Amino acid sequence: MAQHRTALAVAALSVAAAAMVSAPAASAAPRDAFLDELAALNIPLIGGNQADTVGAGLHVCDQLRSGASVLDEMSAAEQMFQLLPGQGTLFVSAATTNLCPDFATG
């Protein structure tokens, strides 16, 4: 079961990373702010690199826009991205603040 979740997380990150590569350069500032916030919170890079981490953040945004509850997404982030308890809350907060502020203010 854990391997299945990991495979799903990797697939979701790959799709999000591909979308990120084709994103305009103007969006670099929100990505950098997201990564900086995670670093300040001592949250490790997802997959060990920035691209996967930003892809994971964009995945969170997509899930929330699709109707997932914030609480469910916090828990899912901890499970999918192997974060410590409580880090899912911080990860989702950083994602909504920096990568999908329309959701945070919406």
Each residue of 1-60: pLDDT tens digit? 545 444 444 434 443 444 444 344 446 899 999 999 999 999 999 999 999 999 999 999
Question: pLDDT, tens digit, for every residue of 75-91?
Answer: 999 999 999 999 999 99
Cα(20)–Cα(87) distance, integer angstroms? 23
pTM of the model: 0.73
| Spans of all domains in the chain | 2-20+28-105
Exposed/middle/buried for 89, CB within 10 Å: 0-12, 13-18, 19+? Answer: middle
